[in-house]
Amino acid sequence: MKLLRGLGWTMIWAGGLVLLFLVYQLWGTNLITDRAQDQATDALEVYLSDTGEQLAAAGELPPPTPDDPEAAQPVLYEEPSPALHTPFARIVIPKAGVDHIVFAGVSRDDLKKGPGHMEWTALPGQPGNAVISGHRTTYGAPFYDLDLVGVGDEITVQTAIGTHVFAVREILIVSPSAVEVTEPRLGVWLTLTTCHPRRSAAQRLIVHAELAAGPNLEYARSLFPDVEGSAS
Amino acid sequence: MIRRWFQALPGPLPVRLLIAFVIVAIVVALLAVVFERAGDLIDTGGVVGPGQ
């Protein structure tokens, strides 16, 4: 009888702990991310404004509206790497309901605050493959509905040099160790990575998108001189 | 159960309160670490790489 009572209490405590765990993961972590995103709003404005002013002073900022985009020279507009762990961009994916501030870095703490940019990959809008990772289930779940995105859908990323619009080209499900999806690509690419399926870290959902509009579009097109419309 | 555990602590009431507070704080800190690590089972943040 005493043994049964002890077993009963143990199960009640274990159940309570599991419940506490789920409440913390599915609700409590969202509060942490929401607060971090709120706090980052002003910091991002300051960063975009200050960096934009520096680039403008150096004459390295693209004109707001090019007179004749077809005649534009393929100039590469660059921007400085942001300090690690700081907000530096905003990502918007209408199809997936995403509108989040992106932080530099993909450490555990960075991803608690929002989507994170793998600092060893290209910056969004720069030649190569910019990789942004985000939570799918916990910590605000910025990429919760990323599976709703289809080929051709738009992804917009605002950085210090302007707004880059990417068009989704490829969607993959891979293993968590499939590091090849982060490798550099010819052109200007954006890759999003998140856990798959929801509430599991067993696989990764990968979205590859190519630059379709933005300050470096002409430069991106110039990388494919013989291929018609390769970056369109 | 909790009352019996509290009464089993040594010392007068203020000391028992202090001991209970320290024990609860340690348990909460341990739970936070365990929850954090266990959370990786349902969502790691989506990072791709050799250590994932």
ipTM value: 0.76
Question: What is the model's pLDDT at position A134?
Answer: 97
Q: Is residue A98 scored above 50 in pLDDT?
A: yes
B45 contacts A116? CB cut-off 8 A: yes
Distance from CA of A71 to the nearest CA of B (A): 40
**Arithmetic mean of pLDDT, A143-172:** 97
**Arithmetic mean of pLDDT, A182-203:** 96
Q: Is residue A45 scored above 90 in pLDDT?
A: yes
Number of inter-chain CB pairs under 8 A, A vs B: 82
- pTM of structure: 0.88
Q: What is the mean pLDDT of chain A?
A: 92
Residue type, A231: A
Q: Is residue A23 scored above 60 in pLDDT?
A: yes
Note if the bond before B10 is cis, omega within 30 degrees: no
For residue A202, what are its two tokens? 């067993």
| Chain B contact set for A206 (CB, 8 A) | 48
Question: What is the model's pLDDT at position A75?
Answer: 86
| Chain A contact set for B49 (CB, 8 A) | 176-177, 179, 182
Q: Is residue A155 scored above 50 in pLDDT?
A: yes
Instruction: Give SS3 for B26.
Output: helix
Q: Is residue A191 scored above 70 in pLDDT?
A: yes
Q: Is residue B51 scored above 80 in pLDDT?
A: no
Question: What is the model's pLDDT at position A226?
Answer: 67
Q: What percent of chain A has pLDDT over 70?
A: 92
Residue type, A217: L
H/E/C letters for each residue in chain A?
Answer: CHHHHHHHHHHHHHHHHHHHHHHHHHHHHHHHHHHHHHHHHHHHHHHHHHHHHHHHHCCCCCCCCCCCHHHCCCCCCCCCCCCCCCEEEEEEEHHHCEEEEEEECCCHHHHHHCCEECCCCCCCCCCEEEEEECCCCCCCCCCCCHHHCCCCCEEEEEECCEEEEEEEEEEEEECCCCHHHHCCCCCEEEEEEEEECCCCCCEEEEEEEEEEECCCHHHHHHCCCCCCCCCC
